[in-house]
Amino acid sequence: MYFEMLKGEVIMGRKPSYTESELLDITKKLVLEHGYDGFHLKLLSQHLPGARSTIYQYYANKEEIVAACMKRVISSVIEKASAIDETDTMQALQELLGIYVDESKLHQLLGDAHKINTTNSAAASRDLDVVEQGHTTLKIQLTRLFQRAQQEKNLREDIPLPVLIGGFFNLINTPNMINVPNPEWSKLLFQMWIGGAQR
Amino acid sequence: MYFEMLKGEVIMGRKPSYTESELLDITKKLVLEHGYDGFHLKLLSQHLPGARSTIYQYYANKEEIVAACMKRVISSVIEKASAIDETDTMQALQELLGIYVDESKLHQLLGDAHKINTTNSAAASRDLDVVEQGHTTLKIQLTRLFQRAQQEKNLREDIPLPVLIGGFFNLINTPNMINVPNPEWSKLLFQMWIGGAQR
Amino acid sequence: MYFEMLKGEVIMGRKPSYTESELLDITKKLVLEHGYDGFHLKLLSQHLPGARSTIYQYYANKEEIVAACMKRVISSVIEKASAIDETDTMQALQELLGIYVDESKLHQLLGDAHKINTTNSAAASRDLDVVEQGHTTLKIQLTRLFQRAQQEKNLREDIPLPVLIGGFFNLINTPNMINVPNPEWSKLLFQMWIGGAQR
Amino acid sequence: MYFEMLKGEVIMGRKPSYTESELLDITKKLVLEHGYDGFHLKLLSQHLPGARSTIYQYYANKEEIVAACMKRVISSVIEKASAIDETDTMQALQELLGIYVDESKLHQLLGDAHKINTTNSAAASRDLDVVEQGHTTLKIQLTRLFQRAQQEKNLREDIPLPVLIGGFFNLINTPNMINVPNPEWSKLLFQMWIGGAQR
DNA sequence: CATGAATGAGAGTTCATTCAT
DNA sequence: CATGAATGAACTCTCATTCAT
C-alpha cells in the first residue's frame, strides 16, 4: 500500500535504530566514566546497537557529539534552576543544591569542555558557546542569591563570600557514601554547610 | 661522584639527561593537566630533554611511569600525615587538612588509578598495590581522628559520621578562588567546615 | 504519455525526478571538474534532486555511470565526425577539428577510462568496449584524411606523419585564453597549425 | 666502540630506509599515474620499502607530500629555464621547449595543485605558494621571449600573440608516438610549430 | 646507553552500496 | 519506486613500543 510507505506526506527510509537522545545519554555516561580523552567512538558504538559508522548519521564528528552532550546537560540544569522560587533565599539555595546534586557530575563533565577542538566543527563551537553562557547564567544566579543572603544577615561575615560560594558549590562533589536518596542527601549536605560540623 | 662526571659531562659530551625524580615530576604535572588518557609519552618527551625512546631506560612502559608517579605522591602524603601529632584531635584534623590541601590534586590524580592496565606490567601492579594500601592507611587515620573527635563531643550528632568525613575530605577540592597561600586557605576551609556558613 | 504523467505528477506528488540523460550530463561535468577519482556518488546526488540511493534506480554502480557517460560522449562525437563531407581533405580536417574542439575535454574525460574497474559490471565493460571501438573509429578516419592530404601534397614531408597527426589532435588541448567562440577558435588553431608561427 | 655509535658528534638512530628524494620521485610518478585523488598513502607505501606509517617520518600528512613534490618539480624547471642564454630569441625558445618537454607532465601535475587542502598544513601552504610564484616566473620569461620575437619580426601577425604562446606551450602535451629521444622530439615539435604542417 | 627510524595496532572518518519502510 | 538509515571496507593519521646504529 502506498500509505504504508508514507509518513505524513513524505516517503521514509529505514527506521533509525536509536534516537539522538539515547546517543547523548550513553555519551554522557561514557565521558563521565572515561573522561574526554578516554571516550572513543568505538566505545560509544559498543554501547549502542549497530556499526560505528552509523553514529555519523547523527553527528559529523566526535567533537560535535560531546559538545551536544554538554549543551544538553547544562541546558537542563538551567531550565530547572531558573524555575526556582527565589522568595525565600535560604530555601532557594537549598533547592538549588538539590538540582546541582541531581547533576553532580556536571562539573566534572564540563571540566573537559576546553579539551574539545572546535576548529573543525562550527556546530561544536556553537554548542560550547551555549555551555559557556550557561555557566555564566548559573554563576549570576548563585551570586545573586548569596548577595541577598548576605544582606539578610544569613551568612557569617568572617569568611569571604567567594569562599562560602565555592564551599557551597563544592558540596556537590561529596561522594554519597551512605547511599541515601538525592533529596535527603542534598538536605544533609546543606545542613552541614549551614551549621558546620561542630556541635 | 667521579663516574657520574665521566658519564655525564666529560667523555661523551652527551646531552644532559634527567633523573627519575624529574621524570615523575613532569609526569605528575602532565597527568593532572591532561588526565590519564590525555597523557602520552610523546607529550612527556616534549617536556624532557632527549628522545622519546630514552624514557624506556627508566621505565618499561607507560603504565609503570604513571603507577610509579602515583605511588610516589601518595607515599609522600602518608609520610607527612603520619608525622602529625594527634594529641589534640581538632588541631590534628586541621593539620591533616593542610597536608591534603598541599596535595589537593591527589584525589584527582589517584582517581585515574583504575584506568591503568596492569596486565602487562608486574611493576605497575605492585606500585598500584602500594597506592591502594596508602589509601587504606589514610582512611584509617581519618576514621581514628573522627571517632576520637566524636567521643570528645566535638562533632554534631544529627549528621552521620561518614557524611562529616566525606564533607571534610571533599573540602580539598574547593577551588581557591581568592588565591591566598595554602596554610591560610586550609584554615579558612576548616573554619567554614567547623562553624558552618550561617551566622 | 499518460503513464508518465501519472507517475511523475499526478498520483504521488513526489519530488520531480530526473532523466538518465540529465544524470549523465551532470556526471560529465563533475568528472571533468574533479577527475574520475574525485567523482563521488555523494557529489553527484548533491547536484541532482532526490536521495543518493535513488541513483541506483538508473545504474547499478558508480562504474556503470561513468562508463555510460563516456560512451555517450564518444558516440556523439563519432556521429558528428562521420557526417563530415570528406571531398575536400583540408576542409574536412578543419571541420573535424571544429568537432573536436567542441568536445575539447573528450581526451581528458576518456583518459580516465582505464581507471574504471570493470570486474564488477558487465554493463560498464560493454560500454567501455564501445568507447574503445569509438577511439579506433576516430583514429581510422583521422589516418585516412591525413594519408589523403599527404598524397595530395598538402603536408610537409620533413616531419613524420604521426607527428603531424599528434600535433593536429593535440591542438584541442590549447586553452582558449582569448575567449573567442569555438568556430573561430578552431579556425585560428587550424591556421596556426597549417601555416606555422613564423611569418 | 663508541665511535661506531657516533656520526660526527651525534648519536644516531637507525638508518632511514629511503631518502626524502626517493619518496618524492615515487610520489611524482604516482600522482601522474593516478591523479591527486587517486593518490593514496597506501599506494605510496606499496612502492616504497617499509610500513605506511613510516612515511610520517618525512611529512606530516598527504597534502605536504604532494605539495613538496610539486614544489621540487617546478623549482627544478625554473632553475633550468633561468639558465638559458636568451641572446638569440628563437634559439632560446627552442631550448625552453626542450626543458618543458623534459618535464612534459609538469602541467598535468600542477593542474591538481588547487585540489590540495592547505587548511591543515602550513608547510603545504608555503610550498604551494612557491609553486604559484614559479608559475608566474615561467610566464614572465615566456612573455618576454615572445614579445622580443615579435619585435624581431619573427612571428606572424595575423594570429594573436596569446594564441601563439598557448600553441607553443601546448606542444609539450603532444604524445611522442614515434619514441624519438626528447632533444630530437622537441626539435620536431618546434619545427612543426614554426613552419606549420603545410608544405 | 641514547638515538631516530620503523612498526603495527587502533582511532576518526568517508563513501559505495544495501536494506527496511 | 524513492527514501534515509545501516553497513563495512578503506583511507588518513597517531602513538606505544621495538630495533639498528
CB-based contact A127:A59 (threshold 8 Å): no
How many beta-carbon pairs below 8 A join chains A and C? 4
pLDDT for the residue numbered B14 = 53
Q: For the ranges A143-157, C12-26, D34-48, D75-89, which has the lowest average pLDDT?
A: C12-26
- Give percent of chain C above pLDDT 70: 92
Contact call for A11 and C14, based on CB within 8 A: yes
Give A107-140 pLDDT, tens digit per residue.
Answer: 899 999 999 999 989 999 999 999 999 999 999 9
Contact call for D188 and C157, based on CB within 8 A: no
A155 touches chain B (CB under 8 A): yes
* Mean pLDDT score, D59-85: 97
pLDDT for the residue numbered B71 = 97
Give D172-190 pLDDT, tens digit per residue.
Answer: 999 999 999 999 999 999 9
Strand E contact residues in chain B (23-82), C-beta within 7 Å: 49-54, 56-57
Phi/psi for B63 (5° steps) reads -60, -45
**Whether pLDDT at D6 is above 90:** no
User: Rounded CA gap, B179 and B184, in Å?
Assistant: 10
* Mean pLDDT score, C118-146: 95
**Residues on chain A touching C14 (C-beta within 8 angstroms):** 11
Using alpha carbons only, what angle is made at residue C25 by residues C20 and C30, rounded to the nearest 5 degrees?
Answer: 125
D3 touches chain B (CB under 8 A): no
**Residues on chain D touching C196 (C-beta within 8 angstroms):** 156, 192-197
pLDDT for the residue numbered A9 = 54
Q: Which residue has the higher pLDDT, A10 or C8?
A: A10
pLDDT for the residue numbered B198 = 87
Determine if strand E comes within 7 Å of the CB of A154. Answer: no
Alpha helices in chain C (DSSP H): 2-5, 20-38, 41-46, 62-82, 89-102, 106-111, 122-151, 161-170, 182-195
Q: What number of other Cβ atoms are within 10 A of residue C97's Cβ?
A: 20
Coil vs helix vs strand at D176: coil
pLDDT for the residue numbered C148 = 96
Give B93-146 pLDDT, tens digit per residue.
Answer: 999 999 999 999 998 899 999 999 999 899 999 999 999 999 999 999 999 999
Q: What number of other Cβ atoms are within 10 A of residue A158's Cβ?
A: 9
Q: What number of other Cβ atoms are within 10 A of residue C155's Cβ?
A: 21
Question: Using 50, 70 and 90 to split pLDDT, how confident is the model at D8?
Answer: low
Alpha helices in C152-177 (DSSP H): 161-170
CB-based contact A60:A68 (threshold 8 Å): no
Question: Using 50, 70 and 90 to split pLDDT, how confident is the model at D199?
Answer: confident
CB-based contact C65:C59 (threshold 8 Å): yes
* Mean pLDDT score, D113-137: 95
Q: Which residue has the cell 610539486?
A: D70
* Mean pLDDT score, A31-56: 96
Question: Using 50, 70 and 90 to split pLDDT, how confident is the model at C3?
Answer: very low
Give C170-180 pLDDT, tens digit per residue.
Answer: 999 999 999 99
- Give the residue from chain B lying closest to D11, CA to CA: B14
CB-based contact B73:B103 (threshold 8 Å): yes
The answer to whether C and B touch (≥3 CB pairs < 8 Å) is no
With 0-12 CB in 10 A as exposed, 13-18 as middle and 19+ as buried, what is D136?
A: exposed
Give B141-181 pLDDT, tens digit per residue.
Answer: 999 999 999 999 999 999 999 999 999 999 999 999 999 99
β-bridge partners, C155: D198
Contact call for C191 and D158, based on CB within 8 A: yes
Give Rg (Cα) of chain C. Answer: 21
Question: Using 50, 70 and 90 to split pLDDT, how confident is the model at A10?
Answer: low
Coil vs helix vs strand at D198: strand
Q: Which of A35, A163, A199 sits opposite B192 (nearest CB)?
A: A163
The answer to whether A and B touch (≥3 CB pairs < 8 Å) is yes
* Mean pLDDT score, B10-28: 77
pLDDT for the residue numbered D10 = 65
Coil vs helix vs strand at B198: strand
Angstrom CA distances, C150 to B19, B128, D43, D96, D197, stand at: 87, 91, 46, 31, 11
pLDDT for the residue numbered A13 = 84
* Mean pLDDT score, A160-173: 95
pLDDT for the residue numbered A6 = 46
Contact call for A2 and C14, based on CB within 8 A: no
Type of residue found at A199: R
Question: Using 50, 70 and 90 to split pLDDT, how confident is the model at C14?
Answer: low
* Mean pLDDT score, B26-31: 97
- Give the residue from chain C lying closest to D40, CA to CA: C37
pLDDT for the residue numbered D19 = 97
Give A58-90 pLDDT, tens digit per residue.
Answer: 999 999 999 999 999 999 999 999 999 999 999
Determine if strand F comes within 7 Å of the CB of C57. Answer: yes
**Residues on chain A touching C13 (C-beta within 8 angstroms):** 9
C163 touches chain D (CB under 8 A): yes
Angstrom CA distances, B83 to B74, B79, B95, stand at: 14, 6, 10
Using alpha carbons only, what angle is made at residue C115 by residues C110 and C117, rounded to the nearest 5 degrees?
Answer: 120
Strand E contact residues in chain D (109-148), C-beta within 7 Å: none
**Residues on chain C touching D199 (C-beta within 8 angstroms):** 153-157
**Can you give the distance from the CA of residue C40 to the C1' of nucleotide E16 in angstroms?**
9
Determine if strand F comes within 7 Å of the CB of D52. Answer: yes
Please spell the DSSP secondary structure of A16-66, one letter per residue: PSS-HHHHHHHHHHHHHHHTTTT--HHHHHHTSSS-GGGGGGT-SSHHHHH
Using alpha carbons only, what angle is made at residue C129 by residues C125 and C131, rounded to the nearest 5 degrees?
Answer: 115
User: Rounded CA gap, A34 and D175, in Å?
Assistant: 60
* Mean pLDDT score, C94-118: 93
- State the chains in contact with B (3 or more Cβ–Cβ pairs under 8 Å): A, D
Nucleotide nearest to D43 (CA to C1'): F11
pLDDT for the residue numbered D197 = 85
* Mean pLDDT score, C10-39: 83
Contact call for B197 and A155, based on CB within 8 A: yes
Contact call for B13 and D9, based on CB within 8 A: yes
* Mean pLDDT score, C2-14: 40
C49 touches chain D (CB under 8 A): no
Determine if strand E comes within 7 Å of the CB of A1. Answer: no
The size of chain A, in residues, is 199
Which structural domains are found in chain D, ordered by start? 62-195 (1.10.357.10)
Coil vs helix vs strand at C13: coil
**Can you give the distance from the CA of residue B41 to the C1' of nucleotide E2 in angstroms?**
17
Mean predicted lDDT score pLDDT of chain B: 91
pLDDT for the residue numbered B2 = 38
**Whether pLDDT at B3 is above 80:** no
Strand F contact residues in chain A (51-70), C-beta within 7 Å: 51-54, 56-57
Contact call for B196 and A196, based on CB within 8 A: yes
Determine if strand E comes within 7 Å of the CB of A60. Answer: yes
